[in-house]
């Protein structure tokens, strides 16, 4: 069944790794675009690379795929030191979509499959079926230049998947899609992952990573600030308590940590290290008169701020603004 990010999947053996990078560095002239990126993507997971624009996500993916060579460091893709040797098992959707405008939708999909070793005839057959499945049968023989941007993106995504890759690499796949198509794409990613395919994608939208990913790498300024399970990232912060009381003051106040913030009748503070039970006991014994009390796990956004810092969080927000 579909894997949900909330479940965050089973733990993976470190020997079953689809992508592994160690200290990847990429310099363009005097500019260091990527500075020692290390990450490990277990087979069969959905893995997100999260970071603002210009953080080095695309450059890292291009190095992992062998499109460009790193200045230093090593990488392995599906067990191969030379990533292009695994090309027939990889599907890649680049950030800047590229299709031949004069090619028909079917030919474009079949051509992308042929580049990955799928015979052209089989590629055409699959392309026709895939387009029909998505209600695009009428567009099968139409040139790409006559398609809308969203449809062209769909064609490129189908071309990425036509040869049934074991590893799917998507660079900013949600960029330029409306909300409905973003949701459809999320469903497709989950469906592919449910069949055991490894999916790695880059994004600057935390919500996508939070909904889809089991593991993430947070990249800022060309460096990996965090790499691990989403739960692990959230675990960097303590749960947040929101409390409303009937009594405005009293001995119960001693149970609140010093950083507790009050907004109207609502108190917000991190759950103390002792956990919820001693807190509840102290509040009740202190006569707080609890009206509401909620304990929430922090979101990935809070974790991102805590891990990457305020500056990176602001860049991420401006990236989202630019994308919108």
Partner 1 sequence: MNTLPTIRAALVIGRRDFTATVFSKAFLFFLLGPLFPILIGLLFGGIGANVAQQAEQPTIAVVGSEGDIRRLEESRQRIADVFEGQPVIKFVYFRPEADEDALRRKLLTRKPANIGVLTGDLFRPRFVGSVDPQGPIARQLELIVGQAQVPPGLQGQPLTIQRIERSSGKTSTARALTAHAGQALLFLLTLLLAGMLLSQLIEEKSNKVIEVLAAAVPVDAIFLGKLFAMLAMSLLGIAVWASAAVAAVTLLAEPGTLSALPAPALGWPGFGLLALIYFGFGYLLIGAAFLGIGAQASTVREVQTLSMPITMSQVAVFALAAVAAGSPDSPTGLFAAVFPLSSPYAMLARAALDGRWWPHLVAIGWQALWLVLILRVAAAYFRRSVLKSGPRRRWPWQRRSQPT
Shorter beta-carbon distance to partner 1: residue 46 or 162? 162
CB of 27 to partner 1, least distance (A): 10
Shorter beta-carbon distance to partner 1: residue 100 or 150? 100
Q: What angle do CA 6, 12, 16 make, to 5 degrees?
A: 140
238: contact with partner 1 by CB under 8 A:
no
78: contact with partner 1 by CB under 8 A:
no
257: contact with partner 1 by CB under 8 A:
no
Among 37, 46, 50, 87, indicate the residue that binds partner 1 (CB under 8 A).
87
> Within 13 A of 216's CA, how many CA atoms are on the CB side?
33
Shorter beta-carbon distance to partner 1: residue 2 or 68? 68
283: contact with partner 1 by CB under 8 A:
no
From residue 113, how far is each of 9, 12, 139 by CA, in Å? 30, 30, 18
Among 55, 206, 216, 218, indicate the residue that binds partner 1 (CB under 8 A).
55
- 95-129 residues labelled b (16+ CB within 10 A) or e (exposed): eeeebeeebbbbbbbbbbbbebebeeeebbebbbe
Give the C-alpha separation, 210 to 222, whole Å: 21
CB of 110 to partner 1, least distance (A): 10
321: contact with partner 1 by CB under 8 A:
no
25: contact with partner 1 by CB under 8 A:
no
- CB of 36 within 8 A of CB of 223? yes
**Residue 199 is inside which H or E element, if any?**
strand 198-203
Residues 90-109 that bind partner 1 (CB under 8 A): 90, 92, 94-103
Question: Phi/psi class of residue 160: alpha, beta or left (left: φ > 0; alpha: ψ in -120 to 50)?
Answer: alpha
The angle, 0 to 180 degrees and rounded to 10, between the axes of the packed helices 300-308 and 310-323 is 130
- CB of 225 within 8 A of CB of 55? no
Shorter beta-carbon distance to partner 1: residue 57 or 190? 57
- 227-254 residues labelled b (16+ CB within 10 A) or e (exposed): bebbeebbeebeebbebebeeeeeebbe
CB of 119 to partner 1, least distance (A): 10
User: Which listed range, 13-21, 56-64, 134-142, 175-183, lies at the site for partner 1 (CB under 8 A)?
Assistant: 56-64
Token output for 83: 């990533």
Shorter beta-carbon distance to partner 1: residue 52 or 298? 52
Residues 26-45 that bind partner 1 (CB under 8 A): 26, 28-31, 33
311: contact with partner 1 by CB under 8 A:
no
Residues at the site binding partner 1, with contacts judged by CB under 8 A: 26, 28-31, 33, 53-59, 62, 65-68, 84-85, 87, 90, 92, 94-103, 111-112, 114-117, 156, 159
């Amino acid at each position: 069944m579909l894997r949900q990010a909330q479940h965050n999947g089973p733990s993976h053996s470190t020997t079953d790794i689809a992508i592994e990078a160690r200290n990847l560095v990429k310099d363009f002239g005097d500019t260091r675009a990527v500075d020692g990126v290390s990450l490990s993507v277990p087979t069969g997971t959905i893995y997100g690379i999260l970071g603002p624009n210009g953080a080095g996500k695309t450059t890292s993916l291009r190095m992992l795929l062998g499109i460009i060579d790193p200045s230093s460091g090593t990488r392995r893709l599906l067990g191969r030191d030379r990533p292009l040797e695994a090309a027939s098992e990889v599907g890649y959707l680049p950030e800047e979509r590229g299709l031949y405008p004069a090619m028909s939708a079917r030919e474009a999909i079949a051509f992308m499959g042929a580049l990955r070793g799928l015979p052209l005839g089989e590629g055409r057959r699959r392309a026709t079926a895939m387009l029909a499945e998505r209600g695009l049968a009428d567009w099968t023989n139409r040139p790409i230049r006559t398609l809308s941007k969203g449809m062209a993106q769909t064609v490129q995504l189908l071309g990425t998947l036509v040869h049934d890759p074991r590893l799917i690499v998507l660079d900013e796949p949600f960029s330029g899609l409306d909300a409905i198509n973003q949701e459809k794409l999320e469903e497709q990613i989950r469906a592919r992952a449910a069949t055991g395919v490894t999916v790695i994608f880059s994004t600057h939208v935390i919500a996508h990573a939070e909904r889809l990913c089991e593991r993430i790498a947070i990249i800022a300024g060309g460096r990996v600030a965090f790499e691990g399970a989403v739960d692990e990232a959230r675990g960097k912060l303590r749960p947040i308590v929101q409390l409303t009381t009937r009594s405005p003051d009293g001995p119960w106040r001693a149970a609140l940590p010093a950083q507790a913030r009050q907004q109207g009748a609502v108190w917000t503070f991190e759950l103390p290290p002792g956990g919820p039970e001693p807190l509840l006991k102290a509040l009740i014994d202190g006569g707080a008169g609890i009206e509401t009390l909620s304990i929430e796990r922090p979101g990935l956004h809070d974790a991102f701020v805590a891990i990457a810092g305020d500056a990176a969080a602001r860049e991420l927000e401006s990236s989202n603004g630019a994308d919108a």
